[in-house]
Amino acid sequence: MKLPSKQTSIKEAIAHIKDGDTVMLGGFGVPGTPFVLIHALVKHGARNLTIVKNDANEPDMGVDHLLKSGQVARLVTTHLGLNGHAIKLMNAGEIEVEFNAQGILAERIRAGGAGLGGVLSDIGIGTELAEGKKEIEFGGKTQIIEPALRADVALLHAAQADSFGNLAYVGTAQNFNPLMAMAADRVVAEVESLLPLGELAANDIHTPGVFVDHVTELGELSEEYAVVQR
């Protein structure tokens, strides 16, 4: 037996994205952000998107390109502190922003990926964060029902992959990538190095290829992936 190949061109991998889709983007700051796939999505032009990402990168980087092209209607995120442009758009009402506590966003995505309806948590009880959310008494205390989150598409970045879509991340580039890999109907991974089947050892795989639909190898990395000079 032989595991099937999911190696595709970037164009093919994102061709199916449509207006109004929910798109998850891996990454926390630069590490793990799929910059090339984001550029491809800008070129593709789908509009009215809901973007799920921990942060909005920095001005002129990553998510900011989608904001500038006006493709984003809604941003589900945790912190926009490094992107003043995103904050400006939010304050002007040009994009809708839903803030989540960071670990709760992770758990909502994990629940979506695990086929669950949601999670119970006491994070944010008695604060603005709990406003408008359903609370229940369970396990002897008040808990918030945090609904599971899924997406039409997840765009991910990994350091290494094989043609079946098994993924391995490095450093702090892991962050939301392995969670989002499980929580979307279609999962696309851009990878720095695509290895022949078998060369990525079974013990070193973070995301099993079963979750991945398309894998595409990056050429030389652009400046966006480099160390940010501040």
Beta-carbon contacts of residue 65 (< 8 Å; ≥ 6 apart): 38, 39, 42
For the bound state, the minimum distance from the C-beta of residue 78 to other proteins, rounded and expressed in Å, comes to 5
For the bound state, the minimum distance from the C-beta of residue 121 to other proteins, rounded and expressed in Å, comes to 8
Please report, as residue ranges, which positions from 94 to 123 form the binding site for other proteins (by CB under 8 A).
Answer: 97, 99, 101-107, 109-110, 121-123
Task: Give the DSSP letter of residue 18.
Answer: -
For the bound state, the minimum distance from the C-beta of residue 110 to other proteins, rounded and expressed in Å, comes to 5
Please report, as residue ranges, which positions from 47 to 76 form the binding site for other proteins (by CB under 8 A).
Answer: 54
The encoded tokens of residue 52 equal 């799920």
Helix or strand holding residue 180 (H, E):
helix 177-180
Helix (H, G, I), strand (E, B) or coil at 51: strand
Helix or strand holding residue 110 (H, E):
helix 102-113
For the bound state, the minimum distance from the C-beta of residue 229 to other proteins, rounded and expressed in Å, comes to 6
Distance CA 187, CA 9 (A): 14
Query: 3 or 104: whose CB is closer to other proteins?
Result: 104
Per CB under 8 A, the list member of 13, 37, 90, 161 interacting with other proteins is: 90
172 within 8 A of 28, measured Cβ to Cβ = yes
Per CB under 8 A, the list member of 175, 191, 194, 200 interacting with other proteins is: 175
Distance CA 208, CA 165 (A): 7
How many residues of this chain bind other proteins (CB under 8 A)? 53
53 within 8 A of 24, measured Cβ to Cβ = yes
Tell me the window of 14-22, 64-72, 173-181, 197-205 that interacts with other proteins (CB under 8 A).
173-181
For the bound state, the minimum distance from the C-beta of residue 44 to other proteins, rounded and expressed in Å, comes to 26
Binding site for other proteins (CB under 8 A): 28-32, 54, 77-82, 87, 90-91, 97, 99, 101-107, 109-110, 121-124, 126-129, 159, 169-179, 206, 225-230
